[in-house]
C-alpha cells in the first residue's frame, strides 16, 4: 500500500496526482480550478510553502496548512566541482534523515541523479549506500523535491533524470512508479519519459511488472559480472535471481516498451575485469537490445576493491566492441566533491552524530 502520509501523519499533497488533488479540494468545498492552481504552484512554480501560493486566498492557504503537509527538502550541503561543474547536494528530510542528489551538465542538457530510498538493503559489496542498510523508503514528493530544489537553486531546467542514487527503485516500487508519472505529467515538470532512467540491481518480478506500466522509461541493469558465480561475490541479490532470468526479464521489458537497455558494469581490478570475462559478457548479451556502460569502480574506504587500470578498461572495451557490443565508459563526474554513490551522505553521517527521529516511517 502506498503510504501518502508524512512522518507527522499528515497527508502528503505533493505525492498526489492531479485527479487526487482535485478530489481533495472538492472535499474541502473548493472548485476544480483551485486544484489546478495548487498543482501548478507545487509542480511548476515549485513553491516552498503554502504561504507562497499568492493566487490562493488566505483562508484556503490556512485550510491547506491544517490538512496537508507540503514536502520541501532543506539544503544541508552543496558542493560544486571545480573540474566539471557537477554539483552534489545533501538534502535534509523532515525526520532528520539526509539524502544525496547530483546535478550534472551534459551537452544535451542538465541531468539529475536522485535517491529512491534512505540507505539500501541490497548489500552490493562495492557500494557505500548500503553499508548501514535501509533506513526508509522515499515518498514520491521526496523524489520530486530533489529535482525541484536543484532546478530552483541552479535556475536551469532539468531535462534528464536518472534514478541511480542511493536505494533500489524496485524495492520502493509503488512510490517510484508514482514519481515517474508525476515528473513526466504534462501539468507538472513535464520531463519526457524517454529522458528518465531507472537503474535496478535486477529484481526479476519488479522488472516484469515495470514492463506492464505503459511507461517509456529507460531501464538500466546493474550487471557487473558475466556469470552468476562472480556476480554473487559482488551482489547478494544474485543469490535470489539467476542472471538468465534477469536477462529474460530485461528482454521482456525491451519487447514491451521498445526502449533499448543499458547494462552497467563496474570494473573492479582482479574481480570482473579480465578479457575472458569481457568475452563472456559479449556472449551473454549479444542478443539483447542495448549497450554496456563501463564504470571504473569508485573505491570506498570500507572495502578493499580497487579500480581497474586504464589499459585494462580500454582492453575490456575494445574486446566488447570487437564482438559487436556498443560500449561507453562512464565519465567520472564531480570526482573532487565526494566520490561515488552514497559517499557524501556517509561522510556527513560519520561527522555528525545527530539523533534521528524514526517516528511514522513507512
Ligand atoms: N540500486 C540501483 C541503483 C544503484 S546505484 C542499482 O543497483 O542499479 C547506480 C549504479 O552505480 C549501480 O550500477 C551500482 O551498482 C553502481 N555503483 C554503486 N557504487 C559504486 C561504486 N562505488 N563504484 C562503481 N559503481 C558503483
Length of the chain measured in residues: 362
The CA 127 to ligand 1 mean position distance, Å, reads 6
| Residue 80: partners with Cβ closer than 8 Å, 6 or more residues away | 86, 87, 337
CB 246 less than 6 A from any atom of ligand 1: no
Chain centroid to CA 62: how far? 34
CB 86 less than 6 A from any atom of ligand 1: no
Rounded to two decimals, the pTM is: 0.94
- Determine the atom of ligand 1 nearest the C-alpha atom of 222: 13
The b/e string for 305-342 (b: 16+ C-beta within 10 A; e otherwise) is: bebbeeebbebbbebbeeeebebebeebbbeebbbbbb
The CA 31 to ligand 1 mean position distance, Å, reads 46
Mean pLDDT of each 10-residue bin along the chain, 362 residues long = 72 97 96 97 98 97 96 96 93 97 93 97 96 96 98 97 97 98 98 98 98 98 98 98 98 98 98 98 97 94 92 98 96 73 76 45 29
Q: What is the pLDDT of residue 309?
A: 94
State the catalytic residues: 100, 341
CB atoms within 10 A of CB 190: 11
- Determine the atom of ligand 1 nearest the C-alpha atom of 339: 22
The CA 351 to ligand 1 mean position distance, Å, reads 24
Chain centroid to CA 131: how far? 18
Helix axis angle, 275-285 to 310-322, nearest 10°: 40
Distance of alpha carbon 299 from alpha carbon 275, whole angstroms: 22
The CA 166 to ligand 1 mean position distance, Å, reads 8
Residue 199 main-chain phi, psi, to 5 deg: -110, 130
Q: Which residue has the cell 502520509?
A: 5
User: What is residue 61's three-state secondary structure?
Assistant: helix
Q: What is the pLDDT of residue 217?
A: 98
Q: Which domains does the chain have, with CATH numbers?
A: 9-67 (1.10.150.530), 72-331+339-348 (3.20.20.70)
The b/e string for 53-87 (b: 16+ C-beta within 10 A; e otherwise) is: beebeeebbebbeeebbbbbbeebbebebeebebb
| Residue 318: partners with Cβ closer than 8 Å, 6 or more residues away | none
Q: Which residue has the cell 481533495?
A: 24
The CA 200 to ligand 1 mean position distance, Å, reads 9
Name the residue with the closest Cα to ligand 1, atom 4.
164
Q: Extract the annotated binding site for S-adenosyl-L-methionine.
A: 167-168, 199, 222-224, 298
CB 25 less than 6 A from any atom of ligand 1: no
CB 298 less than 6 A from any atom of ligand 1: yes
Distance of alpha carbon 358 from alpha carbon 361, whole angstroms: 6
CB 266 less than 6 A from any atom of ligand 1: yes
**CA atoms 179, 13, 342, 185: torsion sign:** positive
Distance of alpha carbon 193 from alpha carbon 316, whole angstroms: 32
Chain centroid to CA 258: how far? 21
Distance of alpha carbon 235 from alpha carbon 305, whole angstroms: 14
Helix axis angle, 173-183 to 204-211, nearest 10°: 30
CB 295 less than 6 A from any atom of ligand 1: yes
Amino acid at each position: 500500500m502506498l503510504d501518502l502520509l508524512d512522518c507527522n501523519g499528515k497527508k502528503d499533497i505533493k505525492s498526489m496526482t492531479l485527479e487526487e488533488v482535485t478530489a481533495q479540494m472538492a472535499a474541502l468545498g473548493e472548485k476544480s480550478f483551485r486544484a489546478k492552481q495548487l498543482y501548478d504552484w507545487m509542480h511548476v512554480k515549485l513553491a516552498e510553502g503554502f504561504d507562497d501560493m499568492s493566487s490562493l486566498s488566505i483562508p484556503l492557504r490556512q485550510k491547506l496548512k491544517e490538512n496537508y503537509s507540503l514536502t520541501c527538502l532543506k539544503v544541508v550541503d552543496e558542493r560544486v566541482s571545480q573540474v566539471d561543474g557537477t554539483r552534489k547536494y545533501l538534502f535534509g528530510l523532515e525526520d532528520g534523515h539526509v539524502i544525496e542528489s547530483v546535478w550534472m551538465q551534459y551537452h544535451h542538457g542538465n541531468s539529475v541523479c536522485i535517491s529512491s530510498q534512505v540507505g539500501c538493503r541490497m548489500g552490493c559489496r562495492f557500494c557505500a549506500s548500503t553499508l548501514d542498510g535501509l533506513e526508509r523508503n522515499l515518498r514520491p514528493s521526496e523524489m520530486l523535491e530533489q529535482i525541484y530544489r536543484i532546478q530552483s537553486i541552479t535556475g536551469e531546467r532539468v531535462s534528464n533524470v536518472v534514478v541511480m542514487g542511493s536505494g533500489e527503485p524496485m524495492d520502493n516500487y509503488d512510490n517510484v512508479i508514482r514519481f515517474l508519472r508525476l515528473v513526466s505529467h504534462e501539468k507538472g515538470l513535464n520531463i519526457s519519459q524517454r529522458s528518465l532512467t531507472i537503474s535496478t540491481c535486477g529484481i526479476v518480478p519488479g522488472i516484469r511488472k515495470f514492463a506492464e506500466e505503459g511507461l517509456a522509461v529507460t531501464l538500466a541493469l546493474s550487471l557487473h559480472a558475466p556469470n552468476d558465480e562472480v556476480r554473487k561475490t559482488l551482489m547478494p541479490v544474485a543469490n535470489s535471481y539467476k542472471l538468465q532470468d534477469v536477462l529474460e526479464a530485461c528482454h521482456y521489458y525491451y519487447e514491451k516498451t521498445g526502449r533499448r537497455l543499458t547494462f552497467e558494469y563496474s570494473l573492479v581490478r582482479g574481480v570482473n575485469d579480465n578479457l575472458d570475462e569481457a568475452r563472456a559478457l559479449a556472449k551473454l548479451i549479444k542478443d539483447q537490445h542495448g549497450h554496456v556502460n563501463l564504470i571504473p569502480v569508485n573505491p570506498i574506504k570500507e572495502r578493499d576493491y580497487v579500480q581497474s587500470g586504464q589499459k585494462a578498461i580500454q582492453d575490456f572495451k575494445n574486446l566488447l566492441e570487437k564482438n559487436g557490443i556498443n560500449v561507453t565508459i562512464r565519465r567520472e563526474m564531480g570526482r573532487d566533491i565526494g566520490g561515488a554513490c552514497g559517499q557524501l551522505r556517509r561522510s556527513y553521517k560519520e561527522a555528525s552524530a545527530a539523533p534521528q527521529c524514526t517516528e511514522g516511517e513507512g
